[in-house]
Amino acid sequence: MKRIGIVFWEKGDGVALLHSQIVQRLGYEPVEFFWDQKLPECLDLILLFGPWGSMVPLTNQLIALPPAQRPKLVWWLSEQLPNPALPDWLRYGGGLLRTRLERVAYIECPDGSWKLRGRLGKLLAFKAIRFRYYGDLMWLKREGILTCVVQGSGLSKRVLAKHSFRIYSPPNPSSFPEWGGDLRLERDIPVLWIGKIATRRRRRLLEQVERELGKCGVQMLRIDGERHPYVFGEERTVLLNRTKVVLNLLRAEWDNNAMRFHIAALNRALVVTEPIVDQATFVPGVHLVEVPVEQIPDRILHYLAHEDERQAITEQAYQLITRTKREDVIAQLLKDVLSD
């Protein structure tokens, strides 16, 4: 039986747990381990989603293994890379520098686990993260460790293709059934913001939309880790089943927040978003509503007043996202990679 390592970024890592359960149902042996712990022995493949932590512990351990003993590494890249408008030399050089600093920041402990090295590590923890992702990808490729990158984003695919990465692009969006369902609850939350604010740009736009809606008597519920704590699992499903409109605003103009669209669609909440450069799966006017930021309050008010139009879009989004299960995508991915 093939042993598939599943990287956990924290206790209760929901995506990693679901991937582990899928791997087991597919007839493989899932081997769960934390990103900063000693690498389990005799793995055939490692599947990681994210990253939501440092790649240094895993990469250094893989480099230390003889090539014949290294498991294949599949990185399902969910995070955004640096601004694609920047010159490639700047993204490439900045990424490699950021990754080199990350490598200095971590130290291996006698028990095989890894920890940050004093002040430098703490200083770096949340700095230039997108450059780090890019640099990590280049580092892994240079060392011959990365088997393939799973990526649906057109912008990121084009950037990585220029550097000859092997890219696995799922033909359709996929979902976890565990992420949603129709609970047939009263939708008593008119507008919901869910997620970290993270950037000044997003905060400014969020407050602008909230202010305009407030003038019309529409209150926005903000689950942002500031006003209200984040919610996950069943609690998030209940919240979204009570929601009419989910607002989407970007951290940066080139972002792609596909995961938010997937979760909203599964729970039949309407996504209203500012224009997205890199988004081909969800069609504006069919699966979501896409308008300039200054028009968002008016569009939200329109769909709050026209339930039939809102439900027509949410139904089509639901049908799109439930067409393909994540289990089917994982099954094909593992079959293709393990057969090489």
Pairwise CA distance, residues 219 & 215, whole Å? 9
| Angle (CA) 307 308 312, round 5° | 115
Q: Give me the count of residues in the chain.
A: 340
pLDDT one-digit tens code per residue, 70-96: 999 999 998 889 988 899 899 999 999
Does position 182 have pLDDT exceeding 90, yes or no?
no
Does position 126 have pLDDT exceeding 80, yes or no?
no
Does position 120 have pLDDT exceeding 80, yes or no?
no
Pair 316, 331 in one domain? no
Tell me the CATH number at 239. 3.40.50.2000
Residue 62 is predicted with a pLDDT of 96
Pairwise CA distance, residues 169 & 54, whole Å? 24
Pair 124, 154 in one domain? yes
Pair 54, 158 in one domain? yes
Average pLDDT over residues 96-106: 90
Average pLDDT over residues 199-221: 95
Pair 193, 96 in one domain? no
Three-state secondary-structure class, residue 117: coil
> Would you say 38 and 61 are in contact if contact means Cβ atoms under 8 Å apart?
yes
Pairwise CA distance, residues 178 & 228, whole Å? 23
Domain that holds residue 50: 3-171+325-338
CA atoms within 13 A on the CB side of 312: 9
Average pLDDT over residues 218-236: 93
Does position 5 have pLDDT exceeding 80, yes or no?
yes
Residue 254 is predicted with a pLDDT of 80
Pair 98, 197 in one domain? no
99 by Cβ neighbours in 10 Å (0-12 / 13-18 / 19+) ranks as buried
Does position 171 have pLDDT exceeding 80, yes or no?
no
Where is pLDDT greater, at 217 or 156?
Answer: 217
Instruction: Give the pair of three-digit tokens for residue 125.
Output: 């923890």
Write down the mean pLDDT value for the chain. 92
Does position 313 have pLDDT exceeding 70, yes or no?
yes
Question: Which residues of the chain form beta strands (DSSP E)?
Answer: 3-8, 29-34, 45-50, 72-77, 106-108, 114-116, 146-150, 167-168, 189-194, 220-223, 243-248, 270-273, 289-290
Average pLDDT over residues 196-219: 94
Of 19-23, 150-154, 241-245, the one with minimum mean pLDDT is: 150-154
pLDDT one-digit tens code per residue, 157-168: 888 888 899 999
Average pLDDT over residues 185-213: 95
Confidence band, pLDDT 50/70/90 cuts, at residue 279: low
Three-state secondary-structure class, residue 338: helix
Pair 20, 37 in one domain? yes
Name the residue among 231, 238, 239, 282 with its Cα closest to residue 259: 282
User: Considering just the CA atoms, what is the radius of gyration of the chain in Å?
Assistant: 21
Pair 312, 330 in one domain? no
Pair 314, 232 in one domain? yes
Domains identified in the chain, total number: 2
Of 69-83, 117-131, 280-294, 304-318, the one with minimum mean pLDDT is: 117-131
Does position 231 have pLDDT exceeding 80, yes or no?
yes
Confidence band, pLDDT 50/70/90 cuts, at residue 169: confident
DSSP string for residues in 196-234: ---SHHHHHHHHHHHHHHHHTT-PEEEESSSSS----HH
pLDDT one-digit tens code per residue, 235-251: 999 999 999 999 999 98
Pair 108, 207 in one domain? no
Does position 280 have pLDDT exceeding 70, yes or no?
no
Average pLDDT over residues 56-68: 95
Residue 264 is predicted with a pLDDT of 95
Pair 18, 35 in one domain? yes
Where is pLDDT greater, at 200 or 152?
Answer: 200
Instruction: Give the pair of three-digit tokens for residue 115.
Output: 């920890």
Pair 45, 103 in one domain? yes
Does position 272 have pLDDT exceeding 90, yes or no?
yes
Pair 21, 148 in one domain? yes
Confidence band, pLDDT 50/70/90 cuts, at residue 170: confident
